[in-house]
Amino acid sequence: MGIKGIEARDGEEIFIADDFQKLARKTVKILQDKTLIEKIGRKSKDLVKKKYSWRKSARELDK
């Protein structure tokens, strides 16, 4: 999965895996843990709003 340039942390805002087995294990883990799903969802949404919103992108282009 390409994540270069994205300011997300593995296990915090996103899950990163470099092979299918690791991806499968992480997928099962998140599907079995409602608290983890909610935490990752909340943190990833906050990250996108903070770093990758249309407004933020427009400000970066104006520089």
**How do residues 30-62 score in pLDDT, each as one tens digit?**
999 999 999 999 999 999 988 888 887 788 788
Check residues 5 and 49 and name the one with the higher pLDDT.
Answer: 49
Instruction: Assess if residue 2 is contained within a domain.
Output: no
Instruction: Assess if residue 9 is contained within a domain.
Output: no
Instruction: Residue 45: give the domain boundaries.
Output: 20-62
Instruction: Assess if residue 40 is contained within a domain.
Output: yes
What gap in Å lies between CA 26 and CA 34, rounded to an integer?
A: 13
Instruction: Assess if residue 56 is contained within a domain.
Output: yes
Instruction: Assess if residue 5 is contained within a domain.
Output: no
pLDDT of residue 30: 92
Residue 41: its H or E element: helix 34-51
Q: Please state the domain count of the chain.
A: 1
pLDDT of residue 57: 77
Instruction: Assess if residue 11 is contained within a domain.
Output: no
Determine if the pTM surpasses 0.75: no
